[in-house]
Amino acid sequence: MENELKFAVLIDADNISDKYIKIILEETANSGIATYKRIYGDWTSPQLASWKAVLLDNSIIPMQQYSYTTGKNATDSAMIIDAMDILYSKTVDGFCLASSDSDFTRLAARLREAGMQVIGMGESKTPQPFISACNQFKYLDLLYEKKQEEMEVPAPQTKKRREKNKPQKELEKTKKTIDTIIEKFSDEDGWIFSGKLGDQLSKRLPDFDVRNFGFTKLTPFMKSLGCYEINKVSDGNDQKQIYFRVKEGKTK
């Protein structure tokens, strides 16, 4: 569609596995259209051999960057230069930066300063500064694990394994953020619209995604926390507007 955002998908082959490619493209498609699909690395290296078939299947352009000096990451520099060239071409609305490398933190910040929508994608080991520099951040290893479970594990077992993906401290951080948002944006009765909560969560926690905790929707995730009331209100058009508030007696 004409009003869909256009994204440049730039992948750091040095620290992103080819098994994540479908997730990278699917997550980008959820936000817009991938008009650039480029991957950076030294394609003379046998370490990148597994990527070669994937590139053809997904129409991704390999960008050759020789490792001129041991210990220096030439791939990062090539990817950063290309990103800036694309930015100045004014042909995209955003970037998907697929890497677990903190070296792209300044790039993500610079692209956001220019008004670009920046989606970061990497593994759980990605340093927090890079995550925070993005508008959104997707954990590829968690999304991959969830997809594998859906394919291989019967539904009852999958349900039992929920919330094991993200550590407890991440869940507690999310709860505190939810409470802060509700306190700030709720009405006089303490209710907040689900859309408002989701929007504020993504702004405050770039890496927030209910799928990280084993869910596909915000409402089941909120219910699982056991701290919030849920109210579904009909809008008169056979649609339900969902609201949340902190349960009485629950400490914020």
> Tens of pLDDT along 148-172?
887 775 555 444 444 445 568 889 9
- % of the chain at pLDDT higher than 70: 88
> What is the edge-to-edge ordering of all strands in the sheet holding 5-12?
61-64, 32-41, 5-12, 94-98, 117-122, 136-139
- Asked if 122 and 139 touch (Cβ cutoff 8 Å), the reply is yes
Model-level pTM greater than 0.75?
Answer: yes
Three-state secondary structure of 73-104: CHHHHHHHHHHHHHHHHCCCCEEEEECCCHHH
Q: How far apart are CA 244 and CA 212, in angstroms?
A: 21
Question: Who has greater pLDDT, 87 or 69?
Answer: 87
Could you read off the pLDDT of 167-192 as tens digits, one per residue?
688 899 999 999 999 999 999 999 99
Once rounded to an integer, what is the mean pLDDT over residues 95-113? 96
Q: How far apart are CA 53 and CA 48, in angstroms?
A: 10
